[in-house]
Each structure stands twice: as structure tokens, then as C-alpha cells.
Amino acid sequence: MTLEEQVMEALQTVKDPEIPSVSVVELGIVYAVRIIDRHVEIDAMPTFSGCPALDIIKRDMTLAVEDIHDVKSVTVTFIRDPIWTTDRVSEKGRSELKEFGIAPPENHQGDEWRVPCPYCGSVYTTLDNIFGPAACRSILYCKSCKNPFEAMKPVSI
């Protein structure tokens, strides 16, 4: 296995502290990995500006990659350009969000935000609060199965 493959495998173990079922790779946070003479540089994209989990994510990414035998040093930098969008969430990430009870964002959202319930799949849902427990999530209610749930806010360019 190449060093880059080892780095990506290590990053796959780093979970978002606010959504512990999904890795930073699956969320599309990892933008680029460069390896120069066993020094690893990682460019990461914050999901939302001001996300309180960024320091934890940076620390966890650094620690995971530092554990690789052939790595001398690790630098993680949060970049602002390009910006992260919900289109970067992988299919596996979408599936894991849904299993965790969070409605994944739809790719290429139009003007209307239609959110299927992660429990029953119904689109007979309403937005209860645009402000969820994290900047990237909102609280919705399913009128079919009567469950409240969270949804990732769609972010596109």
C-alpha cells in the first residue's frame, strides 16, 4: 500500500465529532493530500464557517496520520477556496447520515427544499427550526411517522 493510500485509510477513521457515524473523508472535508519526503500536508474544507468542531477535526486528523510509521510530520490546513458544498458528501456518507437519523442533503438542490424522512422515507415533512444542534443541520418533523429528525442544510455554489 502506498503512503498516500495509508494516509487516506487513516483519515477514513477520523469521524466528525458532531456526527460520529461519518468520516471526514465521507463528508468530503478532505480536499487534497500532498506528501513531500514523508511530510504530509492535508487541505481540508470546513463545512460551515465558524464550525466549533474544526479544532477537534484538525487534531484528530493529525493524530491519525502521525500514527503511520513512514510519516515524519503532518500539517492540516483549513482552506476557504473552494468552498465545501453538500455535493461533496459521498454516497456512503449519505447512507451513514441516514442510518444515524439525519436526512442527507440532496445533490444539486433546486429552489424548494424537500427533505425525505430518514426513518420512513416520506416527503410529507415540515421544517420546525432552521437552527439545529449544529450550524450545518436543521430540525424537521415527519407528518407520516410522527418523528422529529435532523437534516443537513443543503449548501451549493
Q: Looking at residue 13, what is its pLDDT? A: 98
12 and 74 assigned to the same domain:
yes
CATH of the domain at 34: 3.30.300.130
Question: In the beta sheet, which residues pair with residue 103?
Answer: 151
Q: Model's pTM, two decimal places?
A: 0.84
* Number of structural domains in the chain: 2
15 and 62 assigned to the same domain:
yes
Residue 70's domain comprises 3-78
Dihedral sign computed on CA atoms, order 106, 103, 79, 5: negative
Residue 98: is its pLDDT beyond 70? yes
Q: Looking at residue 108, what is its pLDDT? A: 54
22 and 74 assigned to the same domain:
yes
119 alpha carbon, distance to own chain's centre: 20
Digit-coded pLDDT (tens) for 41-77: 999 999 888 888 999 999 999 999 999 999 999 999 9
- SS3 per-residue string spanning the chain: CCHHHHHHHHHHCCEECCEEEEECCCCCCEEEEEEECCEEEEEECCCCCCCCCHHHHHHHHHHHHHCCCCCCEEEEEECCCCCCCHHHCCHHHHHHHHHCCEECCCCCCCCCCCCCCCCCCCCCEEEEECCCCCCCEEEEEECCCCCEEEEECCCCC
In a domain, 21, yes or no: yes
In a domain, 87, yes or no: no
Q: Looking at residue 39, what is its pLDDT? A: 98
* Vertex 105: Cα angle to 104 and 108 (nearest 5): 150
